[in-house]
Amino acid sequence: MSDSGADKAPDVQLPNVHVRAEVLVQALPHMQRYDEEVVVIKYGGHAMGDRAAAEDFAEDIVLLEQSGLKPVVVHGGGPQIGRMLDRLGIKSEFREGLRVTDEATVEVVEMVLAGSINKQIVGWISAEGGKAIGLCGKDGNMVRARRAARTVVDPDSHIERHIDLGLVGEPEHVDRTVLDAVLKAELIPVLAPVAVGGDGQTYNVNADTFAGAIAGAMRAKRLLLLTDVPGVLDKNKKLIPELSIEDCRRLIADGTITAGMIPKIETCIYALEQGVEAVVILDGKVPHAVLLELFTDYGAGTLIRRS
């Protein structure tokens, strides 16, 4: 290197450079822990609608893959589906907070999820230098679904009744063949939660449930559920940093975990019982939340383990 002053970096930059180097050193053991491991990330919520957040997410995914991990992205798209249904004049009916999916609606669901949203995320990852491929549960018969069965208990009569949600499905079987081939080719799979039934019928599958099934089948090291909240909160609305399966069931029973967090926790429990090492529920709106969770000592949400 030349001794001339023109070739030397200004001294004012050195502290910042040293800090960045220290951050990389601290991340090294975390990278080694996840080397060659599958990490399934469910991407959804309002973070999907924010361009800056989407670009941060894409950067995170590319960095994971470049660091030796095998990221698998599963995405949702409820708000986008709702907007498209409104544009087409198709009315949505909800029962107990769940969208009823008829023939007309499932066509829109597939178009939005497996089409526009899926390819948009692939484009974001590609723009950051990654090589992603967009797929859905139908491709390679990856996810076979059955019609979802939901029941509610009437608060007055305490009688349990069945809710017909139409073409809403739940995973019945996951075939790893396509995903194994994609990951071996060092591509990043981006999965839309649309699946096919044994009769060839298309089903709309909840993205959290879909991600849990994929993570379980892949024996993922981690399943990350990116949401619109910091994680699981206690009754004082404070973040609970870590839980066991037993803790989760207790908090559901005593009313601490309620409403939309219950199905997320049920997905976490299912994934853990299928062999996933740990699941994290975290806020997808936090910049680089995925990197904070996987590559630092601080974490970014609620970590859930088997015990």
Tell whether 33 is in a known binding site: no
204 known ligand binder:
yes
The 10 Å CB-count burial string (b at 16+, else e) for 219-256 is: ebbbbbbbbebbbbbeeeeebbeebebebbeebbeeeb
- Rounded to the nearest 5 degrees, what angle is found at the Cα of 254, between the Cα atoms of 249 and 259? 80
Task: Say if CB 257 and CB 240 are below 8 A apart.
Answer: no
- 206 in a labelled binding site: no
Amino acid at 124: W
**Cα–Cα distance between 221 and 33 in angstroms, integer?**
10
Which of 9, 11, 39 lies closest to 221, judged by CA? 39
Q: Does the annotation place 68 within a ligand binding site?
A: no
Neighbours of 31 (CB within 10 A): 16
Tokens of 72: 């698998």
As annotated, the binding site includes 77-78, 99, 204
As annotated, the binding site for substrate includes 77-78, 99, 204
